[in-house]
Amino acid sequence: MSEQIQKFTITIDGKSIQVDPGTTILNAARMIGGEVVPPAMCYYSSLKGSGGKCRTCLVEVSKGSEKDPRPMPKLVASCSTSVMDGMEVKNKSSEKVIDARKGVVEFLLINHPLDCPVCDQAGECHLQDLAFEHGVGQSRYEFERRTFDKVDLGEYIKLHMTRCILCYRCVYTANQLTDNREHGILKRGDAAEISTFIEKNLSNDFIGNVIDVCPVGALTDKTFRFRSRVWYTKPMDASCSCDKCNGNAVLWMIGDEIARVTARKDQYGEVKEFICNDCRFNKKEKSQWNIEGPRKISRHSVISANHYEREIPKHTVLLNKA
């Protein structure tokens, strides 16, 4: 007879859900879905240890738990705070949270170049989305931004540190994929930079995934750089038989050509099944893939904008007739 596992009730912005103990506030919010989900730039559910760094997911805990109803004194990072039974959380309904998030967006943008028109990540950039949804129109920063030279990390990956927001996702990815530490952070404070060990090449079979986990355009695919804007390409679900990974990927096509291959991301931009370098960089022929059909991208409005999947409302037709 297994004992019934006790579920915790948590209320976020007035919406309640029952979750298992140990779930984080962010994951509970994702279970509810919709507007109550705080944005997250550094948390990545499949990477152990990620989260807590970007501070965009800060929420206000207005009631600690049923047993101890005191509110938490500070805003907490929802990605790394576990829920308690009876916890009440304010996300968008809290002025403090909105204000703090505006601050974080401004902080993230002060050293980020605002060159989206020439950045490869534009259209699928989480920072772009974040700034659009939560930021303010104008920065008050009037000083020179920090800049770095572009670095080649091996044959396929380009690192442009200037755009990095130091979310540490790629560091965790590289650490958790390989036995040796090859990829990490040098220096500290706003001089900190992502680097391989003295610009050594990254040569793991799965290292291409650092491109997918990067929320901004700091790590980009050299086989795709500057070939096309992402919203001019057609994302197609496809699979192949691969002995290293499970072969489930997304092909981004221009006409009949495969422009690039990425792993499949969920609505929060997270990859659940990593793909290998072979699939990502070398299989650019249509014959190598079994195409399943067009992929719906829900999060990035820019990408889905050109796909004309929406039904044309009937009354417009009627109006035209009249």
Partner 1 sequence: MARKLLLNNVHIEGIHNYDVYRKNGGYAAVEKALKTMSPEDVVEEVKKSGLRGRGGAGFPTGMKWSFLAKPEGVPRHLLCNADESEPGTFKDRYLMEKIPHLLIEGMILSSFALGANQSYIYIRGEYMFVLRIVEKAIAEAYANGWLGKNILGTGYDLDLSIMPGAGAYICGEETALIESLEGKRGNPRMKPPFPAIQGLWQRPTVVNNVETITAVVPIVNEGGDEYAKIGIGRSTGTKLISASGNVNKPGVYEIELGLSVEEFIYSDQYLGGMKNGKRLKACVPGGSSVPILPHYLVCKTANGEDRLMSYESLADGGFQTGSMLGSGGFIVFDEDQCIVRNTWNFARFYHHESCGQCSPCREGTGWMEKVLHRLEEGHGTIADIDLLWDIQRKIEGNTICPLGDAAAWPVAAAIRHFREEFEWHVNQPKESQIRNYGLVADKSFQTENA
SS3 of 211, please?
Answer: helix
Residues 134-153 within binding reach of partner 1 (CB under 8 A): 140-141, 143
Give the contacts of 33 (CB within 8 A, at least 6 positions apart): none
Residue 62 is a binding residue for partner 1 (CB under 8 A): no
Of positions 54, 202, 211, 218, contacts partner 1 by CB under 8 A: 54
Choices 75-83, 252-260, 269-277, 295-303 (CB under 8 A): range interacting with partner 1:
75-83
Supply the minimum distance, in Å, between the C-beta of residue 30 and partner 1.
Answer: 19
The answer to the question of residue 75 lying near partner 1 (CB under 8 A) is yes
Query: Could you say which of 28, 108, 174, 279 contacts partner 1 (CB under 8 A)?
Result: 108
Among 137, 189, 255, 293, binds partner 1 (CB under 8 A): 189
Residue keyed to tokens 């991301």: 265
In angstroms, the CA 215 to CA 174 distance is 15
Would you count residue 232 as binding partner 1 (CB under 8 A)?
Answer: no
Question: Judged by CB under 8 A, which stretch of 74-82, 234-242, 248-256, 261-269 contacts partner 1?
Answer: 74-82
**Looking at 187-195, 213-221, 241-249, 268-276, which segment touches partner 1 (CB under 8 A)?**
187-195
Q: Is 52 in the site for partner 1 (CB under 8 A)?
A: yes
Among the listed residues 191, 312, 319, 322, the single contact to partner 1 using CB under 8 A: 191
> Could you tell me the two tokens for 201?
């090449």
Assess 192 for contact with partner 1 (CB under 8 A): yes
> Cα(297)–Cα(295) distance, rounded to whole angstroms?
6
Q: 173 and 213 in contact (C-beta within 8 Å)?
A: yes
Among the listed residues 114, 185, 254, 305, the single contact to partner 1 using CB under 8 A: 185
Q: How is residue 67 written in tokens?
A: 């047993």
Interface segment toward partner 1; rule CB under 8 A; list 117-125, 162-170, 210-218, 308-316? 162-170
Q: Determine if 188 is a binding residue for partner 1 (CB under 8 A).
A: yes
Q: Helix %, strand %, coil % for the chain, to 5?
A: 25, 20, 50
Q: Whole-angstrom Cα distance, residue 193 to residue 187? A: 7
Taking CB under 8 A as the rule, does residue 113 contact partner 1? no
Q: Site for partner 1 (CB under 8 A): which residue of 37, 83, 84, 100?
A: 100
DSSP E strand stretches across 48-143: 58-63, 76-77, 87-90
> Measured on CA atoms in the order 17, 20, 25, 31, is the torsion positive or negative?
negative
Could you tell me where the beta strands, DSSP code E, fall in the chain?
8-12, 15-19, 58-63, 76-77, 87-90, 150-153, 157-160, 183-186, 193-196, 219-221, 234-239, 248-254, 257-262, 290-294
Nearer to partner 1, 110 or 242 (CB): 110
Which residues here bind partner 1, judged by CB under 8 A? 51-56, 58, 73-75, 77, 80, 99-100, 102-104, 106-108, 110-111, 140-141, 143, 165-166, 168, 184-185, 187-192
